[in-house]
């Protein structure tokens, strides 16, 4: 059975549905505001990235549609994910209402993730961050506009028991042609420059994770200093003290994160700042196969990357 993303839903009562979903989300967030996980500093935190390849699929032969929010929510619950960066998701007003539907499914699962940030992509494959902990602030950076890259980056500052984690969620340009490679390199360089400008010397002490599908599919993406991955790891200069680290590339190489009928590759990464890298090791990063949807195909062609860290590894929020 060949599956593809569901076309835009024709919702006769779209306005009413959106209002109902918004109300449900507001009620859920309010209900959980007083029950945010109050983990002790030594507790483990599980941060993940996953290109879900849409939360729905259809059978082209029969026209049957499959909504996968419940299965995705169950997976996040079973893996005990506290914070997740999602790519290829459809935010409200696109093909459905994936954010609200996922949060409702997670609530039903008994694993609420009431805090969310998202951004629409000009290419209709959106980005989102869901969290069990409050997202204190978020913003969109590296908007495409006249830049060579097609999608923005989502930045979120998350308050975890009085400590701060900064998560960047990205989905870089795909394909193995020269123009696509140049777009990836340009966006990686721009993100590295943004981090240096925004944090200065604090970049060595801040808890920062770059998460997402960076489409590092070519040997040139892995080239020292000038490749997409090295630029994302801030290894494009002579100062090793600010180097980031792709945890899965370091400790799970050559395990692929994407598998199709044509090829497999290490396209997805969890890239961590120096302060986090100092405490991380090979047992802290996992690559998990996307489970079966229950309809005879996996939930995604991308695997789930999970980083475990201690809350005590995060810096205290500045007062």
Question: What pLDDT, in 10s, does the model give residues 39-66?
Answer: 776 789 999 999 999 898 877 777 778 8
Averaged pLDDT for residues 85-104: 88
Question: What pLDDT, in 10s, does the model give residues 253-280?
Answer: 999 999 988 889 999 999 999 999 999 9
pLDDT tier at 94, thresholds 50, 70, 90: low
Give the sign of the dihedral formed by CA 95, CA 99, CA 102, CA 103: negative
Question: What pLDDT, in 10s, does the model give residues 154-210?
Answer: 999 999 999 999 999 999 999 999 999 999 999 999 999 999 999 999 999 999 999
3-state SS assignment for residue 225:
coil
- For residues 80 and 57, what is the distance between their CA atoms, to the nearest angstrom? 25
The reported pTM is 0.88
What percentage of the chain reaches a pLDDT higher than 70? 87
Determine if the peptide bond prior to 125 is cis (ω within 30°): no
Averaged pLDDT for residues 293-304: 94
Question: What pLDDT, in 10s, does the model give residues 106-148?
Answer: 999 999 999 999 999 998 889 999 999 999 999 999 999 999 9
Averaged pLDDT for residues 215-231: 97
pLDDT the model gives residue 74: 98
How big is the chain by its Cα radius of gyration, in Å?
19
pLDDT tier at 10, thresholds 50, 70, 90: very low
Q: Shortest CA distance to 121 belongs to which of 139, 134, 140?
A: 140
CB 191 within 8 A of CB 236: no
CB 314 within 8 A of CB 207: yes
pLDDT the model gives residue 95: 63
Averaged pLDDT for residues 236-257: 96
12: how many CB neighbours lie within 10 A of its CB? 7
Alpha helices in 156-253 (DSSP H): 178-199, 228-232, 247-251
pLDDT the model gives residue 41: 67
190: how many CB neighbours lie within 10 A of its CB? 17
HSE-up of residue 216 (Cα within 13 Å, Cβ side): 32
């Amino acid at each position: 059975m060949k599956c593809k993303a569901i076309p835009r839903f024709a919702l006769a009562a779209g306005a009413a549905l959106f209002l109902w979903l918004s109300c449900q989300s507001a009620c859920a967030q309010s209900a959980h505001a007083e029950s945010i996980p109050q983990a002790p500093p030594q507790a483990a935190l599980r941060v993940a990235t996953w290109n879900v390849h849409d939360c729905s699929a259809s059978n082209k032969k029969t026209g049957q549609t499959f909504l996968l929010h419940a299965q995705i929510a169950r997976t996040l619950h079973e893996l005990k994910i506290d914070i997740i960066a999602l790519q290829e998701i459809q935010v409200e007003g696109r093909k459905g209402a994936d954010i609200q539907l996922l949060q409702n499914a997670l609530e039903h699962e008994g694993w609420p993730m009431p805090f969310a940030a998202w951004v629409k992509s000009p290419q209709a494959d959106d980005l989102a961050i869901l969290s069990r902990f409050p997202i204190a602030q978020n913003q969109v950076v590296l908007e495409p506009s006249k830049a060579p890259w097609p999608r923005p980056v989502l930045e979120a500052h998350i308050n975890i028991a009085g400590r701060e984690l900064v998560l960047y969620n990205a989905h870089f340009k795909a394909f193995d042609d020269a123009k696509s490679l140049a777009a990836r390199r340009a966006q990686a360089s721009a993100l590295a420059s943004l981090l240096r400008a925004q944090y200065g010397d604090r970049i060595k002490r801040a808890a920062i994770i770059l998460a997402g599908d960076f489409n590092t599919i070519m040997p040139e993406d892995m080239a020292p200093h000038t490749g997409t991955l090295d630029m994302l790891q801030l290894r494009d200069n002579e100062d090793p003290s600010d180097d980031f680290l792709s945890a899965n590339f370091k400790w799970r190489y050559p395990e692929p994160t994407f598998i199709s009928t044509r090829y497999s590759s290490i396209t997805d990464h969890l890239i961590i700042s120096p302060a986090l890298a100092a405490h991380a090791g090979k047992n802290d990063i996992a690559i998990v196969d996307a489970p079966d949807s229950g309809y005879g195909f996996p939930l995604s062609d991308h695997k789930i990357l999970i980083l475990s860290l201690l809350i005590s590894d995060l810096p205290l929020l500045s007062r």
